[in-house]
Structure 1
Amino acid sequence: MDRLYAQPPSPVVQWCDIGCGYGGLLASLSAAFPNKTMLGLEIRDRVAEFCRRRVMEMRSEYPGCYGNVAFERTNAMKFLPNYFAKGSLEKLFFCYPDPHFKKKKNRQRIISTQLLAEYAYVLQEGGGVAYVVTDVPELFDWMVQRFEQHPLFERRGERDHADDPVSKFVRDLTDEAQRVDKSDRGKQDASFWRVVNP
């Protein structure tokens, strides 16, 4: 992989993986979409540090590549609007989030009505896309229901979702997706347009 970028990536973050885990999704996307600037947000300090080391090693191994991705340790549920300007993001990823099964813990889920307002704030109106994927059917239903009930999001049709080349990355190329593939659990995924403000 000794190619150079056709043009340098934007200095402004365009794609964000919230709860990026060990960074597998952005590592894959970074190579496939070198002109898009990406940021992974992770709350666990050791995991965020692992991601930073991972991308530094990739940059050493493939000079001229992976300069479009970075990772930050933060609590996105609290501080997301501090990182991004209004309407600045093209894509948001929510891959295999913690299901918080106990009912009293549901408020800690990364998808909620309140947080969707913040995600809508940072996504581009009329073109931004939020992607979700999980192997927990109950959590998938929860996330889809909240997105569909929110006035600033609209579920993409099956064709639009399937034809989007990024959808396959989200579904199959995260570290968690590879663990799920080794089990008998199925994956469910969807994506949602950030509609124009009414």
Structure 2
Amino acid sequence: MEIRTSVLEYVSSRIHALRNQQQRLKNKAANASSTEPQDASTQPENSESTPAPAPANDDEIGTEKLFPGNFENITAIRSNTMKFLPNFFGHHQLSKIFICFPDPHFKARKHKARIISESLNSEYAFVLRPGGLLYTITDVEEYHQWVLRHFLHGEQPEGGPAPASSSKDLFERVSEEELALDPCVRVMKFETEESKKVTRNKGNKYVAVFRRKADPEWPA
């Protein structure tokens, strides 16, 4: 879900190009298998023969690779996540959410436009299934601290007591040991266009991942 038209067009064109590439690879694999010469020679029943080498992985052709789903299971739509997320996804429908290099909105008066907040975290908890993961990455340390504060401590109202319950009760932070084994973290840090830009600029990357807790039981 993306509200900026230019970004949406770029992502959509990338998806279209990847789908075309996958189709070419599938056609190439089909043609290669149909033109493969057949060995008509026979061996005596008890004769020894050198075993044929194992065939190459059907999913790999040269230096390119076929991926499960062939990128048909990904899309981009123009919409405002902050307003309409629950209109697109049902309760506990998602297993993963990625928030990658969001606009930090540096000015204090613009903090209400940040995509991490008490109210939005509640919506993420609504669509994310228990055990599901919410990934965040930013190159702004202050924003990273904002993310940690809102997921782990909740939003503290000015001049008043903290609420009895909030979205922080529905998330727990994933340990660094688990993150080191998660391939999604590697992709976020090194494979996305924005992460490569940060690398070129020698910037820092701050990652935090949160696991959706099970819904608390209603009191008897």
1:72 paired with 2:80, answer no
* Shift of residue 67, structure 1, vs aligned partner: 1.0
Alignment RMSD, CA only?
1.1
Choose which of 111, 127, 142 in structure 2 pairs with 1:138.
142
- The residue number in structure 2 matching 1:166 is 184
* Shift of residue 185, structure 1, vs aligned partner: 1.4
Instruction: Please tell me whether Structure 1 or Structure 2 has the larger radius of gyration of its CA atoms.
Output: 2
The amino acid of 1:170's aligned partner reads: M
1:118 paired with 2:123, answer yes
* Shift of residue 191, structure 1, vs aligned partner: 0.4
The amino acid of 2:132's aligned partner reads: G
- The residue number in structure 1 matching 2:6 is 46
Quick one: distance in 2 between partners of 1:79 and 1:172? 30
TM-score, reference length from structure 2: 0.69
The amino acid of 2:192's aligned partner reads: T
Task: Specify every segment of 5 or more residues in structure 2 that has no aligned partner in the other structure, as ranges.
Answer: 27-69, 154-167
Choose which of 103, 111, 114 in structure 2 pairs with 1:106.
111
* Shift of residue 174, structure 1, vs aligned partner: 1.3
The amino acid of 1:87's aligned partner reads: H
* Shift of residue 114, structure 1, vs aligned partner: 0.5
128-137 vs 143-152, which moves further: 143-152
* Shift of residue 167, structure 1, vs aligned partner: 1.2
- The residue number in structure 2 matching 1:183 is 201
Quick one: distance in 2 between partners of 1:189 and 1:177? 12
- Deviations 1:56-99, CA, capped at 9 Å, x for gaps: 12111221621111111100000000010100100000110000
- Deviations 1:155-179, CA, capped at 9 Å, x for gaps: 0111112211211112222111000
Percent identity reads 40
The amino acid of 1:54's aligned partner reads: R
Quick one: distance in 2 between partners of 1:107 and 1:91? 24
TM-score, reference length from structure 1: 0.77
- The residue number in structure 2 matching 1:128 is 132
Quick one: distance in 2 between partners of 1:162 and 1:148? 21
- The residue number in structure 1 matching 2:215 is 197
Quick one: distance in 2 between partners of 1:105 and 1:57? 36
- The residue number in structure 1 matching 2:88 is 83
What SS does structure 1 have at the residue aligned with 2:106?
Answer: coil
What SS does structure 2 have at the residue aligned with 1:62?
Answer: helix
The amino acid of 1:81's aligned partner reads: P
The amino acid of 2:105's aligned partner reads: H
* Shift of residue 117, structure 1, vs aligned partner: 0.1
Choose which of 46, 59, 70 in structure 1 pairs with 2:19.
59
